[in-house]
Structure 1
Amino acid sequence: MTFSDEQLDRYARHIVLKEIGGAGQARLAQTRVAVIGAGGIGCPAIQYLAAAGIGTLRVIDDDEISLSNLQRQVLFGTADVGWPKAQIARDAVTRLNPDVAYQAVPERLTAANAAVLIGDVDLVLDGCDNFATRLTVSDHCTRARIPLVSGALGQFQGQIGTFRGWEADQPCYRCFVGDAFDADDCDTCAEQGVLGAMAGLVGSWAAMEAVRAIVGFGPDAAGKVHVFDGVTPALRTIRIAKDPACRACGSDRL
């Protein structure tokens, strides 16, 4: 791939990194990423992926912006209340980087439409707010062999994991949480609260892990979940074991 003078200037701070360089920046420009949820995690992730020069950015979210979102969903402002999140995120990405092909999908991802909505992407970044959707995304990514970066947060805690469950020695997200959360009934930040800046941290971290998965810098993060406690603050990393009985990636499924 040949970069224009303007692109060389825009991505210069990436290109001078030996871990990324021109070849890595070219891979970013040729990659299609789907972001599930333009909420607290999705907003900063969308910003940093767009700034990084991801070739195609597909944002899947069926929700509209509410006033209570603005404390942590930093793509949106007061004037955006009532508008679809995926549509307003397009405006922000267009302002930030015209190189990015943005695709707004104002739909809820389900088992019935997952293959259509994310079947053709190279990586999925999931920042949605319920386990039912998370497991649907994970199961499809495992079947379609699409790397998954999953971010979650609540109150003062955030977590990030990267999953390639189709590989013989790698777990999927379902191996991590099991089958107990298939119902759409998990706690929400409306009930428990969340520190706005924690959403920024997790979303930015998720974008970094997506870039890592695309470019391949540093140690392989797959199969690990990083948990950050913002109160202490403290960070710990958990290695997830592959569940041989997992109904998505167990030995009898792949």
Structure 2
Amino acid sequence: MPDHPFPLERTTLGSCTLVGAGPGDPELLTLKALRAIEAATVLLVDDLVSEDIVALAAPDARVIRVGKRGGCRSTPQAFIERLMVAEVRAGEAVVRLKGGDPFIFGRGGEEVEALRAAGIEPAVVNGITAGLAAPTALGVPLTHRAHAQGVLLVTGHAQPGGQGIDWALLAATARQAHLTLVIYMGMRSARQIQDGLLAGGLAAGTPVAVVQHATLAHQRHVATTLDALHATIEREGLASPSVIVVGDVVRGLQSLAPASPTMQRTGSDR
């Protein structure tokens, strides 16, 4: 039989909790998340976790930065998983602190599998995912009886060597089923997303909102239309972390002007 990925010999085990830190505003943490952060002796923290949330940890807790950001130098996932196991084996109360929700584009599933393979059963605390927080920060619902009967959360970042999303097929589904599309990690592929959704039958005038740094003081958003998505992102200098919301629910956004996309800094409005 092949060697086990982690040695099974251990001393007194600590614990590991995957905690969703939400989109950045500390007031959006759940009480369960707050208690886990305060009790942690070691925190493995993603780049997208705000410093205000990290500051909630105990003064003597060790904070280890294990950032992962598309297009930037990142901590290898395998290293993070080995570190989690090692710290639990050393008896630490480990919190893996992740932006948004651990199980929505947060690699939480991979980390749970690695921990279980090492004989460690983790706990998971959900957080508010950016795909919900971003439109809510603008007063935009993801579902609406008159406009959207459901919502699809998808990633715009294809795995290396993978096929990625069939945007034309997704557009046809969204159009027929009256769905809102929420696209994570789509800024680099905005042109491909736009072209694919148009090819799949979504109208050029379909309203779109792009929200950067949702819920934080420096939050910005742009309201535009599908045919102008890529050009608007380029002109306004929007970048990650941002969420793209596509669908008729965005028509309720007061700043929407199909012929003249608008940009607002919304942090001061909250």
Task: Give the TM-score normalised by structure 1.
Answer: 0.35
Task: Give the TM-score normalised by structure 2.
Answer: 0.33
Q: Which has the higher helix share?
A: 1
Task: Look at both structures and tell me which one has the larger radius of gyration over its CA atoms.
Answer: 2
